Amino acid sequence: MKDWTTTSHPLGSKPSYIRMRDELRAKLLDYEFTHFITLASNHQPLGYLRMRALLKEWDARVNREINGRKWAQRPDERLVWFAFPEKLDVNPHWHMIVQVDPHIETAVRAARTKRLPGIGEAHWLRLVKQGSFDCQSIESPGVIAYITKMSAEETHCEKFVLFREFMNI
């Protein structure tokens, strides 16, 4: 029986946005992420929609440099990533987990992919002059809990972005 005086959800269960975050975390463990990236604005007054547009442009520029001019026609070679916004009102930034294509067929593309940290940084700083970029290898699946921490907030639970949202397939 529901206890209306203490909760608006069944006793013993979690609110839906917390359940969604927990399910998302479990699903993300199915991927083999290689990089943890932070794209920061450094206190610039950018809202969610502008940060999302910057993320989309960054994704296009990085994929083009790594995969070549026809990158949009080869969705199987694109970076796989999930991005989670944080501190949207104060210091908006994205925390991302990225998986590079594990089946790289050409030496040229393999060399470019290894330069992902430098390529990603150059493009982010061209887009956000006072921004900052950090890229680290993923050493632990604990990074998933870290980047999804804000997705349990009711204001953030639907604001994460996945790479497929920017694909024209």
Which sequence spans correspond to the domains of the chain?
Answer: 16-166
Distance CA 22, CA 166 (A): 24
User: What confidence tier does 9 reach under pLDDT thresholds 50, 70, 90?
Assistant: very low
* 3-class DSSP state of 148: coil
Residue 79: name the closest of 54, 106, 61 by CA: 61
Q: What is the pLDDT of residue 131?
A: 96
* 3-class DSSP state of 88: coil
Residue 139: name the closest of 45, 31, 36 by CA: 36
Q: 5-9, 67-71, 102-106: which has the highest mean pLDDT?
A: 67-71
